[in-house]
Amino acid sequence: MAAYISVPRDLSRVKSKILFNLTKRQLLCFGAAALIGVPSFFLLKKAGNVSMAAICMIVIMLPLFFLGMYERDGQPLEVIAKQFIQAKFVRPKVRPYQTDNYYAILMRQEQAEKEVNAIVCKAEKRAQPGKGSTRKSS
């Protein structure tokens, strides 16, 4: 009998594992969770009972575990959270569809040129002396 090993077809999704079959990101998140969670367990154990301290330690460590493990569409949790915050709070809620076609630009340009020509014509008429107001000097 032959032994078969499954090889993923998309090699871009393969991540290098460093230790205990975990990626560098997962190791950092789990290490940070351990650095925060274990001392909090011992501090809470002195103040109360052990089961309450264990539950509090789990609650403290759970967000960091989730940060290390969760990934959707190849994006980690902080990228998804940043996109969510921008979509909900930073960007405007209503984004109307606006077009700016070439014909409308030409029409606005023509209207602006007509206004400029009208202003220039008025200025030229004011600059010319009136035809009936010429005086003859004797």
The answer on 112 and 48 residing in a single domain is no
The answer on 117 and 52 residing in a single domain is no
Write the pLDDT tens digit of every residue in 21-68: 678 888 888 999 999 999 999 999 988 889 999 999 999 999 999 988
25: nearest Cα among 56, 62, 69, 61: 69
Residue 2 belongs to some domain of the structure? no
The answer on 107 and 75 residing in a single domain is no
3-state secondary structure 73-87: CCEEHHHHHHHHHHH
Residue 9 belongs to some domain of the structure? no
Residue 23: burial class (beta carbons within 10 Å; 0-12, 13-18, 19+): middle
Residue 123: burial class (beta carbons within 10 Å; 0-12, 13-18, 19+): exposed
C-beta pairs of 73-77 under 8 Å, 24+ apart in sequence: 74/13, 76/25
The answer on 21 and 72 residing in a single domain is yes
Q: Kindly state the percentage of the chain with pLDDT values over 70.
A: 82
pTM: 0.51
Write the pLDDT tens digit of every residue in 13-30: 666 666 666 788 888 889
The answer on 77 and 36 residing in a single domain is yes
Residue 35 belongs to some domain of the structure? yes
What is d(CA 77, CA 5) in angstroms, rounded to the nearest whole number? 31
Residue 69: Cβ within 10 Å count: 15
The answer on 74 and 53 residing in a single domain is yes
In the chain, how many domains are there?
2
Residue located via tokens 């029409």: 107
The answer on 55 and 34 residing in a single domain is yes
Range of the domain at 121: 102-128
What is d(CA 37, CA 32) in angstroms, rounded to the nearest whole number? 8
User: Is residue 135 scored above 70 in pLDDT?
Assistant: no
